[in-house]
Amino acid sequence: MSLTAHEVHALKKAPSMEGVLPAFHERWSPRSFAAREVSAEALKKLFEAARWTASSYNEQPWRFIVGLRGDGTWEKIFAALGEFNKNWAKTAPVLILTAAHTRFSHNGTENRHALYDLGAASSYLTLEAAALGLAAHQMAGFDPEAARKAFGVPAEYLIGTVIALGYLGEPTALGDAGLIKSETAARARKPLDEIVFSEWDKAAGI
């Protein structure tokens, strides 16, 4: 018997630790989205969260192109997705294409942290989504050059990810057995000893 959306969300939540913001426990990347629109008000909150991200020289190199299911922007973003992602993202009410400006506006030199800053802003967006009871799923599986062409993205912008966004749907709605299996599987993370060090090869033991 497959799990309901509610049960899956309980399973996917990260173990809570006192003092860690609730949104960090709520956020995960679902593939099944409910047939429920995301309000303009909610979208505004997500982009407000992204807007206040820190960035190198406060350049704010990020740009978000938002498509709502049924509009031409959504269709153009969807068309650039790889087949695997098309298979599940077809029900996402919102698709967002992200890009980063790779030149500093104050002197025109290369901003080698542009993609880093875009990633940080995207993270803020996904955390705000979690706090609002929404779900976001970032994707690298798309053709960035097709997306660039579809929107006329200038060469000095790097294409980042596509983010699928909406409310959590029922896992069985995915149809495909493989997708349902990963939608209902527990999440895994490396232990802190594998990512936090006091020397290059010495775990900090935190």
List residues near ligand FMN by CB under 6 A.
28-29, 85, 138-141, 161, 187
Determine the residue with CB nearest ligand FMN.
141
**What does the alpha-carbon distance between residue 87 and residue 69 come to, in Å, rounded to a whole number?**
15
Q: Between 28 and 33, whose beta carbon lies closer to ligand FMN?
A: 28
Q: Between 194 and 199, whose beta carbon lies closer to ligand FMN?
A: 194
Closest distance of CB 137 from ligand FMN, Å:
6
Closest distance of CB 141 from ligand FMN, Å:
3
Q: Between 8 and 106, whose beta carbon lies closer to ligand FMN?
A: 8
**What does the alpha-carbon distance between residue 13 and residue 161 come to, in Å, rounded to a whole number?**
23
Could you tell me which of 38, 47, 18, 59 has the C-alpha nearest to residue 168? 38
**What does the alpha-carbon distance between residue 182 and residue 84 come to, in Å, rounded to a whole number?**
13
| Helix-helix angle 72-80:144-151, to 10 degrees | 150
Place of tokens 């919102």: 94
Closest distance of CB 128 from ligand FMN, Å:
15
Identify the bridge partners of residue 202 per DSSP, sorted by sequence position. 199
Q: Between 97 and 139, whose beta carbon lies closer to ligand FMN?
A: 139
Could you tell me which of 91, 66, 26, 86 has the C-alpha nearest to residue 151? 66
Q: Between 81 and 153, whose beta carbon lies closer to ligand FMN?
A: 81
Instruction: Label residue 203 exposed, middle or buried (CB < 10 Å: 0-12, 13-18, 19+).
Output: middle
Q: Name the phi and psi angles at 28, rounded to 5.
A: -155, 175
Q: Between 32 and 161, whose beta carbon lies closer to ligand FMN?
A: 161
Tokens of 71: 């509009």
